[in-house]
């Protein structure tokens, strides 16, 4: 019989979890970035999300947890025909551009960065291989947009056998309905929805023991 990790404390142990940061990039988050400039989308949610992700990354590093940044490059040379047809105009997250750079929070030396050309961070990337090499079982999901690339990545992760913990104050979208829809889907069908504070408390009480809890004190 397959052994399962039933509680959040079991799932978020630093030695079996990874923090996944999806598409925290200027073109999705910054005023004057592509979706704000070209589509008129409201990106006012992004500052708070970036602040919370920065806090979360500090906690994860202090606990010794793996951190993976998933970054979009949407140059048309990388995209499928249906994706190009839907986008119509090229210019979002072009490789090497300011728009593709990370927004406010940036990877550190020990973090991994995975580039993607689809909504899912798993599609045609090394993400699954990287995680399995590190014996990761749980994905701590953060980033933007909640209902597009975060949603696509966490669903594929779930289908591949990863536990999903979604930090609701570390994800955001210009679509409130889309954001809330993904939270409901995860809560009802896929995994656990919590906050940075709730995750931190669960991490401190996880089976990693007092050593992890002591390290977490350094990130407060």
Catalytic residues: 23, 116, 149
At residue 193, the 3 state secondary structure works out as strand
Cα–Cα distance measured from residue 208 to residue 101, given in angstroms and rounded to the nearest whole number? 34
Is the separation of the CB atoms in 170 and 22 below 8 Å?
A: no
Close Cβ partners of 148 (under 8 Å, ≥ 6 residues apart): 119, 173, 178
Tell me the two tokens of residue 20: 């996944």
**Crossing angle between the packed helical segments 196-204 and 210-218, to the nearest 10 degrees:** 140
């Amino acid at each position: 019989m397959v052994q399962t990790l039933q509680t959040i404390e079991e799932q978020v142990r630093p030695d079996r979890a990874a923090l996944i940061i999806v598409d925290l990039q200027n073109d999705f988050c910054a005023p004057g970035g592509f979706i704000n400039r070209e589509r008129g989308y409201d990106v006012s949610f992004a500052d708070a999300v970036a602040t919370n992700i920065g806090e979360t990354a500090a906690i994860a590093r202090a606990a010794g947890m793996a951190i993976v940044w998933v970054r979009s490059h949407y140059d048309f040379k990388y995209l499928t025909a249906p994706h190009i047809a839907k986008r119509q105009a090229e210019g979002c997250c072009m490789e090497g551009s300011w728009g593709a750079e990370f927004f406010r929070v940036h990877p550190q030396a020990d973090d991994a960065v995975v580039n993607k050309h689809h909504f899912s961070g798993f599609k045609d990337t090394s993400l699954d291989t990287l995680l399995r090499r590190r014996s990761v079982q749980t994905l701590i999901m953060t980033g933007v947009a909640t209902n597009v690339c975060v949603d696509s990545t966490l669903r594929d992760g779930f289908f591949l056998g990863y536990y999903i913990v979604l930090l609701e104050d570390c994800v955001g979208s210009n679509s409130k309905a889309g954001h809330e829809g993904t939270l409901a889907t995860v809560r009802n069908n896929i995994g656990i929805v919590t906050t940075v504070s709730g995750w931190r408390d669960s991490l401190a009480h996880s089976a990693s023991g007092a050593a992890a809890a002591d390290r977490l004190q350094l990130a407060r």
